[in-house]
Structure 1
Amino acid sequence: MPRTVDHDERRAQLSDALARVAAREGLHAVSMRSVAAEAGVSLRLVQYYFTNKQQLLVGALRRMEEQSNDRWRTRLAEIGRSPVPREILAAFIDEALPTDAPSRDFYMVSAAFSGLASTEPALAAEPLAGGVARLRESVAAAFHEAAGLDQLAPGADPDAEADGLIALCNGLSTAVVIGHHTPERAVDVARYHLDRVLPTAPSR
């Protein structure tokens, strides 16, 4: 009997192929045809699952965001207990910065997508497939929890600190990929900022 096609698996295969092409050659090199070649499938198959390049981009970014969140959750699970806010944010820094191949690819593709979205209203309407808003909610929640536990530095605003940490990680990520900082230095700078606003708190 012929093997039943897993459509989610096929979409994931094509999304992963797009990520590899974009991370290796830049988003300008991505086309339906280049993704088909990278995945080792026909152009017709790519067109069956994604009717245009925009849909393919959004699908790939959504998958990469899910993978990044999974890695963040894995880092937290390795703590072996319920993490305190500072540990949640330290794990976010480790995942948000391009310290390994998956996080570097995610940054490269998302940065290229953001640049393209600046001139394409349809893409701008779905920034990182909604991932930016979800990411901010998670980071802000950790800062608000810290504030509720009286762990934030005096005068610190949880929402402003969340936006500031995300912006800092974005800037440091750019510095890493263009060679101005090593990944290790970027992590040190981000953690230095975190230490100033959220001093080390006792574990639960």
Structure 2
Amino acid sequence: MPKLVDHAQRRAEIVDALLRTAADRGLHAVTMQSVALEAGISVRLVQYYFDTKEQLLLAALTRLAARMGERIENRLRSAGDTATPAEIVEAVMLEAIPADAEGRAFHLVYTEYAVLSVTDAALASQPFMAEPDGMEVFLVRQLRAAQQAGDVDPEVDVRREAVALMAMSAGLGLSVLLGQRPADDAFETVRHHLKRLFQSITPDPAAPKSSSSS
């Protein structure tokens, strides 16, 4: 009896092979041949699931977005069901720091996608690239909840603060990725700002430690 093939799993394996190739050698080095080699399958099989390289790139971008969401959800879950808005914002901000191997790979490949989307209309039109306000809306919601709870000054412009938080996380994440500062220093910088924004964050907390500093 012929062996049944899990097509969804096979597609996921091919996409993950692309992401590994991009993380190791850069998105510019990705070809159907390089992905096939990384996945340990034939080029013909890659083309069976993805007619073009563009289709493969778009599928990998979708997977990248989903994996980022999973990592944020895992960090929020560790904060518990009764996490405060301050703890939720902190978890999201810290996830933007590439402090482990997977996080570094994610940020590296996402940055390459962002640069490529400047000149690639197909990539630029994808929701993950074209609709970046989802995180802004999320942060605004948390900041307003904190204001209602008396944890954030009612005079704070929550939308402006959300935009500033996003810019901070993006800048710090890139600086860690480039080796300009260690992840622990980026963590400290995030908390330095958050403890001025949220009254519930203690003045001198012990900053979370990354698995490695570089």
- TM-score with structure 1 setting the length: 0.89
Q: Which moved more, 1:2-11 or 1:26-35?
A: 2-11
Q: CA deviation at 1:51?
A: 2.2
CA RMSD of the aligned region, Å?
Answer: 2.0
Q: CA deviation at 1:164?
A: 1.4
Q: Deviations over 1:143-190 (max 9, x none)?
A: 232233232234222222222111111111111111111011111111
- 1:48-67 superposed matches below 5 A: 48-67=48-67
CA–CA distance in structure 1, aligned partners of residues 108 and 154 of structure 2? 36
Query: What is the SS of the residue equivalent to 1:11?
Result: helix
CA–CA distance in structure 2, aligned partners of residues 9 and 130 of structure 1? 28
Query: What is the SS of the residue equivalent to 2:79?
Result: coil
In structure 2, stretches of 5+ residues that fail to align are: 203-214
CA–CA distance in structure 2, aligned partners of residues 192 and 29 of structure 1? 39
2:168 equivalent to 1:155? no
Q: Which moved more, 1:60-69 or 1:173-182?
A: 60-69
CA–CA distance in structure 2, aligned partners of residues 47 and 138 of structure 1? 38
Runs of 4+ aligned residues of structure 1 deviating over 4 Å after TM superposition are: none
* Counterpart residue identity of residue 112, structure 2: A
Give the equivalent residue in structure 2 for 1:145: 145
Q: Deviations over 1:23-68 (max 9, x none)?
A: 1111111112111111111112222222222222221122122222
Tell me if structure 2 keeps the 8 A contact 1:14–1:35: yes
- 1:40-119 superposed matches below 5 A: 40-119=40-119
Structure 1 residues 149 and 58, CA, compared in 2 at 3 Å: closer, same or farther?
farther
**Total equivalences in the alignment:** 202
In structure 1, stretches of 5+ residues that fail to align are: none
- 1:123-202 superposed matches below 5 A: 123-126=123-126, 128=128, 132-200=132-200
- TM-score with structure 2 setting the length: 0.85
